């Protein structure tokens, strides 16, 4: 039978990164292309202990159907966690437990966009977000990134355009792919523009806990007195991604639509994972655990930057204050796709920067490096591969 | 901030059943309204044992990101399970592991429907399916149910209409809510119509393993030589629902779109749950386990029917050959909503039949009873409540 695929899905391509991940079974390939958390950061023993306890003492509480919003006691624990340093979840906000934060991006587009509507996005940004929005039929308006966040004039122009965007998507902390952090001044300005133009902000914060340098900057959600910010937090980087656990904080009126979307999508999030997460949040010292993850990431990031400085001085790059990514840029006039191709031929995977651009066809001299997944040994080897390719290409 | 909800989500209501489930914290309420598997059917000890083994021996295999299609070894185990009695997954079919089978319904609508497109559905049918399709902007064309499945003439009329439906949704085994089973002759006829008119069939089979009487009838998917059937199987009723595990079998060309939808929706299904499921399928006698579940359900169904025969002879009802539901119909002229309301006032929850109709406003004299969730004691008490209400209402 010939299937007629819907307009919104017909031209969607599989994520280049998910496709690259499929190649990862080749053990000789070094990958700077993924975005996996370091496996040695997983609190596997605690998870095993709590899971065992739960499944032996109260299996039905882990294995039966539950409510779409998330198990009430889990939501309470998550609210307390999200609010432990700053007020993320306000009185008028609900907390929804989701199957990864990708699901929050999906719900935002599904609940706020009709086919053809515009969504404003940082450009470049997380391509999984672009795909989620496009899969609801949205069109993307890219707002250029500067070192301290989006260009405000360009953002205001997009907000003020006749086709007002349905929301603005950004990753203020250690952005994917650029590793950049939005300054406090820009966060305030973005929030003010959102309120002035009536455009909600979708603040995606999967990496916020992974700060390795500098001082924390308040979230945009913490400034939110008007219920204008949808906050997406994740446990994938501070517990583990395989459990698919994230949470959304937003105004209760909007959350009512998200809850219906959740019912239509996967009914509710895996209850076992929710309960184990609750135990982690309430019975372990999460901040001590997060400090350990930060140490692992700080060491890996420092090693990659040291190697780049030493072996690839012609590559300009961001010095991220956290997260998982370094954004490299080749010298003016270099052929970035050829560089990435040749690295892959020599068994080093990088992601070409245009994969993260709203217009993938536009010229782009940058590429993304991930430092959380590779071993220290492979970080050293991988940067050497880059140096070899740069030399061979006369860069 | 005022949020402008998308057209497709604006008029969606929370599922009445999910709302009823929220009330279930009242311990004095007897519920015939849910659809929860019997908790004593969960293989909790095996799950605990495999989970413990996995998390201690190879935690990264359970906790790291994985591919969107599902862990390859899990997909193999699921394919073998699906094919153990009849050929569900053919050579040209892919297997996708999903976060519950609700997600398959969501993907089918997302990948095959533009806003405003028509989906043909059994009427009445599972309201979670209606909600999933509507949340993609689809309009529903209901096809009346008879005792042995849909009315074929009405189905052909819908297929032949100028606005050809994008697919036809049905639950051939122990349908929700009616408990009816589609006959072999009708399955063949439905498949022939699907091929003749080029309308794919979405065969939802969450209850197929839960046969308590009669002989198995081949699935529509087993007849599928043209790649015209999308099969949705679930582990919620034979393992447990809290893990959110289901699988989709369909033609690889269509599955490519489903995989992209999966990437956009929740990236991949909980890996821990997938691995535990694999262990259950490959290292335990699933058929022996399923026989035990059937015994529980057969006893509960028999008790409910016996009680209905004895105390409520004026209620006509289906005698289901499996599944979880009995569809009751009041005597001609009775006020069904008043009956359901009065039962609830006396602490017995039933679902009014119109909740499962494409047009909820149309007159309906039926209601749904679930026998899997209540205890035997509560089955007896609940039917007595019904008898009391019938008497009080002069029915």
pLDDT digits (tens, 9 = 90+) for A355-387: 999 999 999 999 999 999 999 999 999 999 999
| Beta-carbon separation of A128 and B251 below 8 A | no
| Beta-carbon separation of A64 and B266 below 8 A | no
* Minimum distance, in Å, between the CA of residue B102 and any CA atom of chain A: 5
pLDDT of residue B11: 83
Closest residue, chain B, to A275 (C-alpha): B242
* Minimum distance, in Å, between the CA of residue A156 and any CA atom of chain B: 18
Residues A275, A382 share a domain: no
Within 8 A of B106 by CB-CB distance, chain A residues are 264-266
| Beta-carbon separation of B42 and A22 below 8 A | no
Q: Is residue B328 part of a domain?
A: yes
Per-residue pLDDT of chain B (395 residues; tens, 9 = 90+): 989 999 999 988 776 766 666 666 678 899 999 889 988 899 999 999 999 999 999 999 999 999 999 999 999 999 999 999 999 999 999 999 999 999 999 999 999 999 999 999 999 999 999 999 999 999 999 999 999 999 999 999 999 999 999 999 999 999 999 999 999 999 999 999 999 999 999 999 999 999 999 999 999 999 999 999 999 999 999 999 999 999 999 999 999 999 999 999 999 999 999 999 999 999 999 999 999 999 999 999 999 999 999 999 999 999 999 999 999 999 999 999 999 999 999 999 999 999 999 999 999 999 999 999 999 999 999 999 999 999 999 99
**Chosen domain end from A248, A267, A283:** A283
pLDDT of residue B21: 61
Q: Which candidate in B63, B241, B278, B289 is best for mutational testing of the A interface (most A CBs within 10 A)?
A: B63
Residues B96, B30 share a domain: no
* Minimum distance, in Å, between the CA of residue B338 and any CA atom of chain A: 27
Biggest CA–CA distance in chain A, Å, is: 65
| Beta-carbon separation of A260 and B48 below 8 A | no
Q: What is the CATH number of the domain that holds A244?
A: 3.40.640.10
Within 8 A of A12 by CB-CB distance, chain B residues are 257, 260, 264
Cβ–Cβ pairs < 8 A, chains A and B: 271
* Among the listed residues B315, B297, B314, the one whose alpha carbon sits nearest the alpha carbon of residue B370: B297
Q: Which range marks the domain in which residue A295 is found?
A: 7-42+288-392
Within 8 A of B73 by CB-CB distance, chain A residues are none
* Among the listed residues B384, B215, B395, B389, the one whose alpha carbon sits nearest the alpha carbon of residue B310: B384
φ and ψ of B329, to 5 deg:
-130, 130
Within 8 A of B137 by CB-CB distance, chain A residues are 115
Give the whole-angstrom CA distance, residue B72 versus residue B94.
11
Tell the residue number behind the tokens 């000890």, with chain if given.
B45
Q: Tell me if A390 sits within 8 A of A39, measured CB to CB.
A: no
pLDDT of residue B173: 98
pLDDT of residue A13: 76
Give the whole-angstrom CA distance, residue B174 versus residue B320.
6
Query: Residue B57, class by beta-carbon neighbours within 10 Å (0-12 exposed, 13-18 middle, 19+ buried)?
Result: exposed
Torsion of CA A56, A289, A371, A221, to 10 degrees: 100
Q: Which residues contact A311 (CB under 8 A, 6 or more apart)?
A: A383, A384, A386, A387
Q: Which residues contact B261 (CB under 8 A, 6 or more apart)?
A: A9, A135, B106, B107, B110, B111
| Beta-carbon separation of B59 and A68 below 8 A | no
Q: Which residues contact A86 (CB under 8 A, 6 or more apart)?
A: A218, A219, A222
* Minimum distance, in Å, between the CA of residue B118 and any CA atom of chain A: 12
φ and ψ of B122, to 5 deg:
-60, 145
Residue A17 reports pLDDT greater than 70:
no
Asked if residue A288 has a cis previous peptide bond (ω within 30° of 0), the answer is no
Q: Tell me if B315 sits within 8 A of B329, measured CB to CB.
A: yes
**Chosen domain end from A233, A252, A283:** A283
- Residue of A56, A68, A264 with shortest CB distance to B132: A264
| Beta-carbon separation of B260 and A12 below 8 A | yes
Residues A246, A188 share a domain: yes
| Beta-carbon separation of A135 and B42 below 8 A | no
**Chosen domain end from B241, B266, B283:** B283
| Beta-carbon separation of A260 and B14 below 8 A | yes
Give the whole-angstrom CA distance, residue A213 versus residue A211.
6
Q: Which residues contact A193 (CB under 8 A, 6 or more apart)?
A: A152, A155, A156, A159, A199
Q: Tell me if B175 sits within 8 A of B146, measured CB to CB.
A: no
Residue A389 reports pLDDT greater than 70:
yes
Q: What's the distance, CA A41 to chain centroid?
A: 18
Q: Is residue B17 part of a domain?
A: yes
* Among the listed residues A289, A147, A295, the one whose alpha carbon sits nearest the alpha carbon of residue A213: A295
Q: Which candidate in B94, B247, B265, B273 is best for mutational testing of the A interface (most A CBs within 10 A)?
A: B265
Q: Is residue A100 part of a domain?
A: yes
**In 3-state terms, what secondary structure has residue B332?**
coil
- Residue of A5, A34, A135 with shortest CB distance to B264: A135
Residues B190, B59 share a domain: yes
Q: Tell me if B200 sits within 8 A of B167, measured CB to CB.
A: yes
- Residue of A260, A269, A272 with shortest CB distance to B9: A260
Closest residue, chain B, to A198 (C-alpha): B1
Q: Is residue A319 part of a domain?
A: yes
| Beta-carbon separation of B59 and A48 below 8 A | yes
Biggest CA–CA distance in chain B, Å, is: 65
Give the whole-angstrom CA distance, residue B59 versus residue B182.
44
| Beta-carbon separation of B260 and A14 below 8 A | yes
* Minimum distance, in Å, between the CA of residue B60 and any CA atom of chain A: 6
| Beta-carbon separation of B112 and A272 below 8 A | no
Q: Tell me if A179 sits within 8 A of A369, measured CB to CB.
A: no
| Extended beta strands in A168-240, E state | 168-170, 201-205, 229-234
Residues B230, B134 share a domain: yes
| Beta-carbon separation of A106 and B264 below 8 A | yes
Q: Is residue B2 part of a domain?
A: no
- Per-residue tokens: A161: 């355009």
| Beta-carbon separation of B264 and A66 below 8 A | no
Give the whole-angstrom CA distance, residue B380 versus residue A36.
53
Residue A113 reports pLDDT greater than 70:
yes
- Per-residue tokens: A137: 């039929």
Give the whole-angstrom CA distance, residue A251 versus residue B319.
46
- Residue of B9, B66, B102 with shortest CB distance to A110: B9
Residues B312, B279 share a domain: no
Residues B68, B11 share a domain: no
Within 8 A of A110 by CB-CB distance, chain B residues are 6, 8-9, 135
Residue A18 reports pLDDT greater than 70:
no
Q: Which residues contact A376 (CB under 8 A, 6 or more apart)?
A: A299, A300, A303
pLDDT tens digits, residue range A231-251?
Answer: 999 999 999 999 999 999 999
| Beta-carbon separation of A241 and B132 below 8 A | no
Query: Residue A228, class by beta-carbon neighbours within 10 Å (0-12 exposed, 13-18 middle, 19+ buried)?
Result: buried
Within 8 A of A268 by CB-CB distance, chain B residues are 244
* Minimum distance, in Å, between the CA of residue B13 and any CA atom of chain A: 7
Q: Is residue A333 part of a domain?
A: yes
Give the whole-angstrom CA distance, residue B376 versus residue B384.
13
Give the whole-angstrom CA distance, residue A377 versus residue A355.
27
pLDDT tens digits, residue range A316-338?
Answer: 999 999 999 999 999 999 999 99
Give the whole-angstrom CA distance, residue B239 versus residue B105.
20
Q: Which candidate in A3, A69, A105, A138 is best for mutational testing of the B interface (most B CBs within 10 A)?
A: A3
* Among the listed residues A18, A36, A51, the one whose alpha carbon sits nearest the alpha carbon of residue A236: A36
Residues A155, A216 share a domain: yes
Q: Tell me if B140 sits within 8 A of B130, measured CB to CB.
A: yes
- Residue of B135, B226, B267 with shortest CB distance to A110: B135
Tell the residue number behind the tokens 């624990």, with chain if given.
A77
Residues B249, B157 share a domain: yes
- For chain A, what is the domain count? 2
pLDDT tens digits, residue range A156-213?
Answer: 999 999 999 999 999 999 999 999 999 999 999 999 999 999 999 999 999 999 999 9
pLDDT of residue B44: 93
pLDDT tens digits, residue range B188-210?
Answer: 999 999 999 999 999 999 999 99
Torsion of CA B211, B214, B220, B221, to 10 degrees: 50
* Minimum distance, in Å, between the CA of residue B306 and any CA atom of chain A: 28
pLDDT tens digits, residue range A133-154?
Answer: 999 999 999 999 999 999 999 9
| Beta-carbon separation of B51 and A56 below 8 A | no
| Beta-carbon separation of B36 and A198 below 8 A | no
Q: Is residue A338 part of a domain?
A: yes
Residues A168, A20 share a domain: no
**In 3-state terms, what secondary structure has residue B365?**
coil
Residues A196, A83 share a domain: yes
Q: What is the CATH number of the domain that holds A325?
A: 3.90.1150.10
Give the whole-angstrom CA distance, residue A158 versus residue A170.
14
**In 3-state terms, what secondary structure has residue B321?**
coil
Q: How confident is the model at residue A27 (pLDDT cuts 50, 70, 90)?
A: confident
Residues A116, A24 share a domain: no
Closest residue, chain B, to A245 (C-alpha): B270
- Per-residue tokens: B388: 């009391």
Q: Is residue B175 part of a domain?
A: yes
* Among the listed residues B271, B339, B324, the one whose alpha carbon sits nearest the alpha carbon of residue B294: B324
CA atoms within 13 A on the CB side of B375: 7
């Amino acid at each position: 039978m010939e299937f007629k695929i819907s307009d919104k899905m017909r031209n969607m391509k599989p994520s280049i990164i998910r496709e690259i991940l499929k190649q990862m079974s080749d053990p000789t390939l070094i990958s700077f292309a993924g975005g996996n958390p370091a496996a040695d950061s997983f609190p596997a023993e605690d998870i095993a202990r709590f899971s065992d306890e739960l499944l032996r003492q109260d299996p039905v509480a882990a294995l039966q159907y539950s409510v779409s919003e998330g198990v009430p006691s889990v939501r309470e624990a998550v609210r307390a966690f999200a609010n432990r340093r700053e007020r993320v979840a306000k009185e008028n906000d609900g907390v929804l437990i989701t199957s990864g934060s990708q699901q929050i991006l999906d719900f935002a587009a599904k609940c706020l966009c009709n086919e053809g509507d515009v969504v404003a996005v940082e450009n470049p940004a997380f391509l999984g977000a672009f795909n989620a929005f496009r899969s609801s039929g949205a069109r993307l308006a890219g707002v250029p990134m500067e070192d301290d966040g989006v260009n405000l004039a360009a953002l205001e122009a997009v907000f003020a355009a006749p086709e007002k965007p349905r929301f603005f998507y950004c990753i203020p902390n250690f952005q994917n792919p650029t590793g950049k952090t939005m300054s406090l001044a820009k966060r305030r300005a973005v929030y003010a523009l959102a309120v002035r133009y009536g455009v909600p902000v979708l603040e995606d914060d999967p990496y916020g806990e992974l700060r390795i340098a500098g001082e924390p900057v308040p979230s945009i959600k913490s400034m939110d007195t008007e219920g204008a910010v949808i906050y997406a937090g994740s446990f994938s980087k501070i517990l583990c991604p395989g459990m698919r656990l994230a949470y959304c904080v937003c105004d209760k009126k909007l959350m009512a639509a998200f809850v219906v979307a959740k019912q239509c999508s996967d009914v509710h999030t895996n209850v076992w994972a929710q309960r184990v997460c609750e135990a982690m949040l309430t019975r372990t010292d999460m901040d001590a655990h997060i400090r350990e993850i930060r140490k692992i990431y700080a060491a890996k990031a420092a090693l990659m930057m040291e190697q780049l400085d030493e072996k690839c001085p012609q590559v300009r790059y961001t010095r991220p204050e956290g997260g998982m990514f370094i954004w490299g840029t080749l010298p003016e006039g270099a052929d970035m796709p050829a560089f990435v191709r040749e690295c892959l031929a020599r068994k080093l995977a990088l992601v070409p920067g245009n994969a993260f651009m709203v217009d993938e066809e536009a010229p782009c001299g940058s590429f993304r490096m991930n430092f959380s997944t590779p071993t220290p040994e492979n970080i050293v080897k991988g940067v050497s591969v880059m140096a070899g390719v740069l030399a061979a290409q006369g860069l």
